[in-house]
Copies of this chain bind each other. A is one copy, B any other.
């Protein structure tokens, strides 16, 4: 280890300094020297490296107390682009964004994840190329790809692990396949984690402890603690769909247990209950449509689903003490019924200390949460100090 370290390339320090510019604020060389404690000459050399890579550009002049006003420098998010891919069970959304996650071009299309990795990843490659063209960017401006998949993913390798609704994807080297096409780093995570990341970065960047809950065909969550997404030991953190609902009926679940949250309160479960009551509801979208059309039985069923979800979230609140719970996924589009049910039980079942400042809200980024998170994950990877150093040397 010691020996290896001796031969590792020396960091230029430019990557580290660049982190201070990621907030978009223009700064002078003197500002950066003060903040970092480095010599002016060192700072100047680093700025030059970052400018030659296009990542930083002059941003105007600072006010001066006399003499020639010093130049300010700022991060240039448009210098490169990333491809963000959000694959669901039955639909997909792709976006090309700049390095500040601003969407430059975007498509949404139906897609069957069950068609398997060959078909789906070939489609992603083709659509990704087209989207780059639409955005007017070249392939060599693409620096990374972020992908969300609707199943458990081992984050370190980017491979799906026993994904229930996409068995053909088990242990497939998704990053390797897409890297061969795009020639860039490819980061993969499960869809709820990237939704949590997208919602956090976009709508609640100042919140340190957040729980994002997706209520759709299934139910899952993503955990932000101390400002970062937490994935757990195998990348399975947040998998709340199979937690037992206290006092729930013994509904059998596809996982083999009974009374799981997903079996009781998912869009699928609510649709099934409504069918039993004689209504036409095949999917989560049908449930949402019924609620929006004012159907009382559907509204009551969604509110009860909210209560059941709330009874599990009450436990999550006790364990994690988040300051905000954000509810997303298609069932959240059914208006206030879902969230009202969740609030009812969470505030009743949790300790006052954990709920005194707790907000429970619907997602701000909604259907875009996934691509925004995939973009953020891809950007974080290429703008890390080590990655910047590698890029510019």
Contact = CB atoms under 8 A, between A and B. Distances in A.
A235 B11 CA distance: 37
Interface stretch (A140-148, A283-291, A319-327): A319-327
A223 interface: yes
A336 interface: no
A312 B319 CA distance: 10
Contacts of A238: 319, 321
Contacts of A321: 231-239
Given A31-B6, A237-B319, A318-B242, A161 B353 contact: yes
A353 B319 contact: no
Contacts of A356: 234
Contacts of A5: 31, 34-35
Interface residues of A, number: 65
A323 B357 contact: no
A148 B208 CA distance: 23
A35 B237 CA distance: 34
A174 interface: no
Interface in A68-111: none
Nearest to A154: B353
A37 B234 CA distance: 34
**Binding site of A, secondary structure by majority: helix, strand, loop or mixed?**
loop
A13 interface: yes
A24 interface: no
Interface in A223-251: 223, 225-226, 228, 230-240, 242-248
A161 B240 CA distance: 29
Nearest to A356: B234
Pairs of residues from A and B, 8 with the lowest C-beta to C-beta distance, nearest first: A232-B321, A10-B37, A233-B323, A237-B321, A236-B321, A209-B233, A243-B315, A6-B34
Interface of A: 2, 5-6, 8, 10-13, 27, 30-31, 34-35, 37, 152, 161-162, 208-209, 221, 223, 225-226, 228, 230-240, 242-248, 255, 257, 259, 311-312, 314-316, 318-323, 348-354, 356-357
Given A243-B314, A244-B314, 14 more contacts: A161-B353, A162-B353, A209-B233, A209-B237, A225-B225, A232-B321, A232-B322, A234-B321, A234-B356, A237-B319, A242-B351, A243-B319, A244-B246, A245-B246
14 contacts: A2-B31, A5-B34, A10-B37, A208-B233, A209-B232, A225-B225, A231-B321, A232-B321, A233-B321, A234-B356, A239-B318, A243-B319, A244-B246, A255-B351
